[in-house]
Amino acid sequence: MSDGSVPTPFLSIEDVVVRFDIKRTLLDRLTGQPARAIHALNGVRLEIPRGETLGVVGESGCGKSTLARTIVGLIEANDGRVMFEGRDVAGLKGGARRAYNRRVQMIFQDPYGSLNPQMSVRQVLTEALSVHKMRSKAEIPGRIAELLDLVRLPQDAADKRPHEFSGGQRQRIGIARALAVEPEILVADELVSALDVSVQAQVVNLLLDLQQRFKLTVIFVAHDLRLVRHISDRVAVMYLGEIVEIGETEALFTAPRHPYTRTLLDAAPDLDPTRRTRVASAKGELPSPLSLPSGCRFHPRCPYVFDRCREEHPILKAHGARQLAACHLEDFSKAGV
Ligand SMILES: Nc1ncnc2c1ncn2[C@@H]1O[C@H](COP(=O)(O)OP(=O)(O)OP(=O)(O)O)[C@@H](O)[C@H]1O
């Protein structure tokens, strides 16, 4: 509590803006082209309570990975703040910063790329345990055995190297490495998208078990809506660097409040569309993040567009107790097209 009455949010993302500047070429300079930037995050605002699993979905290029990387501190925001237990992460120094880096762990899509091929699993885990001084030297072998059990790998895995494992097993090693430092938040960016479908469910169920066992807060970035529905308490839908809808998982999946969410759900083959009223879908391609549309960023593709959408940027507003959506229509599913 900050003043004895208002609870301090566990993790809050406050109007975060991230731009990637594009280097001007010689030709750009000669032809007087102005400097340009990719607008990857355009004012993302989000609070994540302790213990929640938040799914983050949206088309490729909408800023999911940028958001994940900004939360763990791999990308610095141009504007806005990431607040952890009421403190601005950008301002954390020394021991406080190291503590944040330990408490918030990222698991990457490609464990092969993030695991040193020369190191055995034992060395990988020993390194993780030593960097953050999690255990004394004498305690490390016991902790490694425990971690292998936790991610359901056999004990002899400790002396093997990454190439001796399947993709799913490597992903378990990545999870064990993250767990070694006893994090409170796990940020999983496309954790299973490189794996076979049959293996995906096993790894996601493992994550779900670990989340419950250690009361972890999980940010689960994924394309696969079926998996997101399975694992998440709430889901945030991103479009062109903004959250256009956020809500409790079942509410959002059964009665989406933003036309873009509906488009995403309609495009997912293995969700049951018969439970939703059919409405019109988005048209066209995702606009370039180099030059954002005016008003509602979704308006050029929205089947329900009207004048206000072209001019006024909608903010997230409540639809009942369980959802927020940034759309000028009160209820788009009742609008005529
Ligand atoms: N390091 C970078 N330099 C320049 N542009 C970048 C960089 N990282 C991301 N971008 C751009 O920022 C935008 C958002 O990318 P991001 O990877 O966050 O989207 P995403 O939703 O995670 O996509 P995907 O689902 O394909 O991973 C894209 O236009 C992308 O090309």
Q: Residue 285: which pLDDT band, with cuts at 50, 70 and 90?
A: confident
Between the CA of 61 and the centroid of ligand 1 the distance, in Å, is 5
Q: What pLDDT digit, counting tens, does each position of 65-100 carry?
A: 999 999 999 999 999 999 999 999 999 999 999 999
Q: What is the reported pLDDT for 135?
A: 81
**pLDDT recorded at residue 52:** 96
Residue 223 alpha carbon, nearest atom of ligand 1? 25
The pairing of strands 185-189 and 217-221 is parallel
Count of residues for the chain? Answer: 337
Ligand 1 binding site (Cβ under 6 Å of any ligand atom): 20, 38, 40, 58, 60-66, 289
pLDDT at 83: 97
Bridge partner residues of 219 (DSSP): 54, 187
How do residues 121-142 score in pLDDT, each as one tens digit?
999 999 999 888 778 888 899 9
Confidence of residue 194 (pLDDT cuts 50, 70, 90): confident
Interface confidence, given as ipTM, is 0.96
What is the arithmetic mean of pLDDT over 241-248? 97
Ligand 1 center–CA 41 separation, angstroms? 10
Contact yes or no for 193/110 (Cβ under 8 A): no
Best of 13, 22, 38 to mutate for ligand 1, by most ligand atoms within 8 A of CB? 38
Residue extent(s) of CATH 3.40.50.300 domains in the chain? 50-75+91-232
Q: Which among 39, 37, 36, 43 is positioned nearest to 313, based on CA atoms? A: 43
Q: Domain 50-75+91-232: give its CATH code.
A: 3.40.50.300
